[in-house]
């Protein structure tokens, strides 16, 4: 992978996309005008229309004998215009009432019939004929029912007074209502739909232009004649489409925040649109933007012209619009199962964020699962760009894309490692949802670790043709490497203590929730036999997760030719495995140390030992009354970090990372 070529292609496509006025209009102009018009216009139009409906007289038809007191009471309770009066009810009241309603001569028809009451007097049997399908008729129906209820209550009180009874006996229930319905609920339900649609439209035309547009202009075929790799081409184009998609999301959020802050003072009912909410919403949109960009790129390159590209991408736009409608569906909640469904999960998450009802844990599930789908989408786009039949508009492109590739020897690659991460992440989330109520917690952990991370890692590497002994290397480290691992044991514990103190001081959102979850996990493990707790919480993650992230991920990403990409990439994916945002941060930082140690010693044993000691210490301390001192003291935690720094110095050196073109099995890079 030559990043200089990728960046050159990125800049070229970006300049061409910025020349398109339609793209700039959708990216900048529409958001700045949409949300002020949405808030002000909808409030003015809806308020004015509702006010007019309440000020207009009710147009009613009255059939049957109507006592004078009823007409007087109705006139006092509501503004009424009696359009039609009949002393008798027609033989087919339903048919005639329907004719009056369809002609819009009246808004409701009342059919009255006297019903004798034992002891003297009579009541009125009132049958209403209405059509609430029309908004104005629905408002009229509500006004009419309220007026009839008032007339009925007034009549009952008058009867009690005539009989010498207290009128309060007519009201056995004194109902006082407090309505907590937020007037801004419509904003939380409707805005996710608009944001997701705007996100897709922001990258719609750039995706067509850099794929089908280049085919139509003949520049894509010319580019393929140059000494560039398909992956470099797809990453450059993917960067442009993602930039416009994320830019559109950012512009829409900025316009939304400015509109609400300027017009409604930063809040609409209970919907608070603060800077923190906007940041959380944008963070939720980032993986979705990456997923949508990959989908548009993969579909757009199938087209042979700009017009055909529009036809191909329109169904994708409709698919996103239908999935985004989930936020408007009544009764549809963000459950752990729906948190794994792409697009739908983000739509529901945005609604919960605007209503301040979402936890950091469910946010992490949605973020990581959507990111996993985005990785799969990008790898699909890369595979399509590797097909000359598709790029050159040849015959049978789908067979060429999805058919089995003929390969020889080792085809373990960075893309294969990323796809492995996407597969195991989604599989582990599904396993947690499906097994949570069927197995005890230790069973869920054991199945996820052994059945997903370890088993899939072994099968993945075996299928790729890579050397299992090199990917899952368990060679003993040198004396210098062994000393470094020993010194890293207190270093990792001290690092966790420092991170804990920093998080306690900064207190980002979700910190208390994370501490509560970890406390519950440790208390649950304390109820198990010590051997079971160590096996499930310490041994299994140390072996299985290290095989997955310091084995498959680190070895696969090493083939980019960059040591930094390998260590940082494996650490980030390791962090995302832990779902909760606070846990993601802690695990990613620790993952940097584990990856560096594995790379320096060229052995998984380093990561396994450090991982085991870290988790086992947590199991043991959960059974003690007092927490370890380095989790309570800055000084002790920093002191423990000192040997860790010495260990990193021992592992320093220039590691030689193999070139990605190399076909033979490639070992982990060595350190000096």
pLDDT per position as a tens digit, 49-75: 666 666 788 888 888 888 888 888 888
Exposed e or buried b per residue across 504-524, where buried means at least 16 C-beta atoms within 10 angstroms of its C-beta = eeeeeebbeebeebeeeebee
Q: Which residues touch 363 (CB under 8 Å, ≥6 apart)?
A: 280, 284, 349, 353, 510, 581
The pLDDT score that the predictor gives to residue 183 is: 45
The pLDDT score that the predictor gives to residue 181 is: 47
The pLDDT score that the predictor gives to residue 272 is: 57
Q: What is the mean pLDDT of the chain?
A: 79
Q: What is the distance between the alpha carbons of residues 258 and 265, in angstroms, rounded to a whole number?
A: 10
The pLDDT score that the predictor gives to residue 467 is: 84
Q: What are the φ and ψ backbone dihedral angles of 116, each rounded to 5 degrees? A: -60, 145
Sign for the pseudo-dihedral over CA of 102, 105, 108, 110: negative
Quick one: residue 356, left, alpha or beta (phi over 0 = left, psi -120 to 50 = alpha)?
left
- Grade residue 453 by pLDDT with cuts at 50, 70 and 90: very high
Average pLDDT over residues 544-570: 89
Q: What are the φ and ψ backbone dihedral angles of 365, each rounded to 5 degrees? A: -65, -45
Please identify which residue in the block is written with the tokens 């147009």.
Answer: 59
The beta strand positions in 240-339, using DSSP E, are 267-268, 271-272
What HEC string does 135-146 produce?
Answer: HHHHHHHHHHHH
pLDDT for 32 beyond 70: no
The pLDDT score that the predictor gives to residue 596 is: 92
The pLDDT score that the predictor gives to residue 655 is: 42
pLDDT higher at 11 or 589 = 589
Average pLDDT over residues 428-433: 85
Q: What angle do CA 564, 570, 572 make, to 5 degrees?
A: 95
- Grade residue 23 by pLDDT with cuts at 50, 70 and 90: low
Average pLDDT over residues 114-130: 79
Exposed e or buried b per residue across 282-294, where buried means at least 16 C-beta atoms within 10 angstroms of its C-beta = bebbbbbbbbbbb
Average pLDDT over residues 348-377: 85
Q: DSSP letters of 443-471?
A: HHHHIIIIIIIIHHHHHHHHHHT--HHHH
Q: How is residue 476 written in tokens?
A: 């003993």
pLDDT higher at 172 or 95 = 95
Fold that domain 56-170 belongs to in CATH: D-Maltodextrin-Binding Protein; domain 2 (3.40.190)
- 345 in Cβ contact with 338 (< 8 Å): yes
- 536 in Cβ contact with 529 (< 8 Å): no
Domain ranges of the chain: 3-42+183-401, 56-170, 468-650
Q: Which one of 141-145, 357-361, 482-486 scores highest in mean pLDDT?
A: 482-486
What HEC string does 506-521 produce?
Answer: HCCCCHHHHHHHHHHH
pLDDT for 134 beyond 80: no
Q: What is the distance between the alpha carbons of residues 300 and 391, in angstroms, rounded to a whole number?
A: 11
H or E element that contains 179: none
pLDDT per position as a tens digit, 245-280: 888 888 877 777 776 666 555 455 555 567 777 888
pLDDT higher at 412 or 350 = 350
DSSP 118: T
Q: What is the distance between the alpha carbons of residues 534 and 469, in angstroms, rounded to a whole number?
A: 27
pLDDT for 608 beyond 90: yes
**CA 558 vs CA 45, 550, 554: distances in Å:** 60, 11, 6
Average pLDDT over residues 383-389: 70
Q: How many angstroms from the chain centroid is the CA of residue 573?
A: 18
Strands 267-268 and 108-116 come out as unpaired
pLDDT higher at 164 or 597 = 597
What percentage of the chain exceeds 70 in pLDDT? 80
pLDDT for 188 beyond 80: no
The pLDDT score that the predictor gives to residue 668 is: 46
Q: What is the distance between the alpha carbons of residues 552 and 545, in angstroms, rounded to a whole number?
A: 10
- 29 in Cβ contact with 204 (< 8 Å): no
Q: How is residue 207 written in tokens?
A: 């995706």
Mean pLDDT check: name the lowest of 211-215, 345-349, 437-441, 569-573.
211-215
Strands 58-63 and 80-86 come out as parallel
User: pTM of the full predicted structure?
Assistant: 0.71
Q: Which one of 24-38, 175-189, 212-226, 473-487 scores highest in mean pLDDT?
A: 473-487
The pLDDT score that the predictor gives to residue 2 is: 65
């Amino acid at each position: 992978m030559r990043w200089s070529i990728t960046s050159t292609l990125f800049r070229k496509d970006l300049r061409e996309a910025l020349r398109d006025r339609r793209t700039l209009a959708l990216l900048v102009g529409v958001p700045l005008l949409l949300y002020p018009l949405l808030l002000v216009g909808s409030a003015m139009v809806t308020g004015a229309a509702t006010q007019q409906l309440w000020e207009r007289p009710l147009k009613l038809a009255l059939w049957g004998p109507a006592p004078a007191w009823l007409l007087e009471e109705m006139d006092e309770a509501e503004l009424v215009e009696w359009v039609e009066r009949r002393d008798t009810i027609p033989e087919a009241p339903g048919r005639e009432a329907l004719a009056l309603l369809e002609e819009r001569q009246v808004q409701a028809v009342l059919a009255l019939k006297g019903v004798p009451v034992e002891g003297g007097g009579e009541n009125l049997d009132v049958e209403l004929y209405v059509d609430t399908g029309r908004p104005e008729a629905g408002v009229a129906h509500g006004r009419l029912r309220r007026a009839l209820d008032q007339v009925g209550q007034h009549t009952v009180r008058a009867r009690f007074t005539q009989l010498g009874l207290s009128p309060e006996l007519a009201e056995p229930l004194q109902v006082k209502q407090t309505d907590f319905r937020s007037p801004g609920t419509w904003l939380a339900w409707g805005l996710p739909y608009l944001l997701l649609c705007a996100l897709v439209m922001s990258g719609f035309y750039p995706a067509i232009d850099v794929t089908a547009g280049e085919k139509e202009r003949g520049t894509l075929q010319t580019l393929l004649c140059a000494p560039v790799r398909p992956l470099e081409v797809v990453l450059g184009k993917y960067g442009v489409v993602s930039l416009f998609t994320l830019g559109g999301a950012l512009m829409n959020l900025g316009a939304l925040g400015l509109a609400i802050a300027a017009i409604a003072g930063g809040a609409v009912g209970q919907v608070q649109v603060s800077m923190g909410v906007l940041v959380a919403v944008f963070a939720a949109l980032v993986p979705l933007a990456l997923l949508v960009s990959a989908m548009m790129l993969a579909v757009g390159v199938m087209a042979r012209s700009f017009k055909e590209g529009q036809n191909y991408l329109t169904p994708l736009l409709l698919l996103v619009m239908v999935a985004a409608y989930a936020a408007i569906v009544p009764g549809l909640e963000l459950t752990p199962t729906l948190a794994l469904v792409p697009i739908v999960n983000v739509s529901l998450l945005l609604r919960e964020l605007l209503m301040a009802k979402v936890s950091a844990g469910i946010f992490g599930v949605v973020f990581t699962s959507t990111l996993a789908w985005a990785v799969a989408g990008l790898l699909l786009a890369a595979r399509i760009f590797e097909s000359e039949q598709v790029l050159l508009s040849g015959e049978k492109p789908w067979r060429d894309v999805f058919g089995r590739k003929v390969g020889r020897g080792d085809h373990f690659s960075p893309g294969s490692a990323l796809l492995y991460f996407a597969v195991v992440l989604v599989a582990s989330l599904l396993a947690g949802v499906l097994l949570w109520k069927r197995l005890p917690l230790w069973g869920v952990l054991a199945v996820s670790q052994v059945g997903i991370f370890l088993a899939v890692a072994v099968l993945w590497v075996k299928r790729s043709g890579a050397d299992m002994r090199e990917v899952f290397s368990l060679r003993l480290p040198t004396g210098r490497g062994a000393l470094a691992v020993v010194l890293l044991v207190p270093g990792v514990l001290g690092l966790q203590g420092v991170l804990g103190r920093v998080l306690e001081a900064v207190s980002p959102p979700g910190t208390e929730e994370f501490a509560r979850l970890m406390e519950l996990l440790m208390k649950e493990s304390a109820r198990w036999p010590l051997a079971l707790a160590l096996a499930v919480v310490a041994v299994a993650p140390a072996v299985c997760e290290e095989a997955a992230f310091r084995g498959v991920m680190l070895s696969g990403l090493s083939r980019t030719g960059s040591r930094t990409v390998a260590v940082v990439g494996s650490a980030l994916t390791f962090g995302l495995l832990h779902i909760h945002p606070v846990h993601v941060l802690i695990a990613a930082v620790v993952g940097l140390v584990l990856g560096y140690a594995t790379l320096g010693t060229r052995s998984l044993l380093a990561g396994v030992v450090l991982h085991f000691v870290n988790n086992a210490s947590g199991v043991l301390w959960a059974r003690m009354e007092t927490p370890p001192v380095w989790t309570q003291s800055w000084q002790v935690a920093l002191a423990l970090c000192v040997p860790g720094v010495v260990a990193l110095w021992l592992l320093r050196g220039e590691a030689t990372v193999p070139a990605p073109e190399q076909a033979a099995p490639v070992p982990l890079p060595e350190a000096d």
